Chain A
Amino acid sequence: MIFTIGDYVAGMLVGAATALSVRMVVWPGMDMVIAMIAGMAIGMAVHIVLGLILAPLIGMFNAMIPASLIGMYGGMFFGMRDSMAAGSRTLAAAIAVGVVFGAIVVAGVEYYDRTLRGAVVDSGY
């Protein structure tokens, strides 16, 4: 249970940090493709740094896999969103979107993990 809570906290932290970092770099009116690529690069960098910090607490793969999806796809999403000035008007609102995005990704990974978990091959002898 404690690890599951940790997974969500970690995901929300990576989401918030990615949204904040992208917001610092991407401005409204920026070319959307460049914003998307920049967002992805920033997200990847954020996820590597935070993933490595969080890994000793919740486990290497449990930290890095959701963080990679949040960093990569979240970075692209936040970059496009900020370049269009669509949605979050304040920094706090942008961070809140990052937190929600992080939690959704963690929930998705958790669901996928549950469907995959268990025996793939079991010959029994």
Chain B
Amino acid sequence: MDTATQRKWDAASRSFDFITFGDDHRLGPHKRRLFAKMHGAILMVAAGTGNDFRFFPTGQSILAIDISPKMLERAEKKAAQYQGKIELRQMDVCQLPLPDSSFDSVVTVCTFCSVPEPVIGLRELYRVLKPGGQILMFEHVRSRIGPLGIFLDLMTPLSRRVGPDLNRDTVGNVQKAGFRIRREENVYLDIVKSIEGVKDR
């Protein structure tokens, strides 16, 4: 278990709902549209305080994991309100104690901006997905627009201390982990994206 990352997100859990209030309301419809594609056995990575549970289609059975026990404590109430089943468990995405080929869908929301070794984490998700399974991601990435990309590079040493990196190439990392990109959609500029990947074999 990556204890440094765990401690960082334990600390962030106190103000997480306040800081993400605007994003949750603004980006909710985009998340709802992406999550409508969830089916079968579902793994949600980095559940956080459970703010995204309300955007899930009802009636699903979901295993929601997070590295931070403090985040999961705050997610309990929202999980109980979901009209379906959400099981919460503490896990590190880079070391998943889950069998191979056991999920049909994996969902992530602003996760791989924070995982210190993103390709290792994504390879773990590739492993636990069944052949033909899908990964549905709502992530922010480094902009390819010159000045914005440089700005995100400059801000990352600061943002990394309390939260995520701002300059990840998550689409590239998804491909490096073995997924085929089925769909990539810009939600805000070329920074906030929904990404759909498939495990072909």
Contact = CB atoms under 8 A, between A and B. Distances in A.
Contact of A125 (B26, B182, B186): B182
Interface string B153-186: 0010000000000000000000000001111111
Range, interface on chain A: 20 to 34
Contacts, number: 79
B176 to A, nearest CB: 16
A29 interface: no
A119 B185 contact: yes
Interface string A29-67: 000000000000000000000000001111111111100
A101 to B, nearest CB: 16
Contact of A109 (B19, B189, B190): B189
A95 interface: no
B185 A58 contact: no
Interface residues of B, number: 29
Nearest to B187: A117
A121 B183 contact: yes
Interface of B: 18-23, 25-27, 140, 145, 147-148, 151, 155, 180-193
30 contacts: A56-B21, A56-B22, A58-B22, A59-B26, A59-B27, A59-B188, A60-B19, A61-B189, A61-B191, A62-B22, A62-B26, A63-B22, A64-B155, A65-B148, A65-B191, A68-B155, A109-B189, A112-B189, A113-B189, A116-B190, A117-B186, A119-B183, A119-B184, A120-B185, A121-B181, A121-B182, A121-B183, A122-B182, A123-B183, A124-B182
Interface of A: 3, 55-65, 68-69, 72, 109, 112-113, 116-125
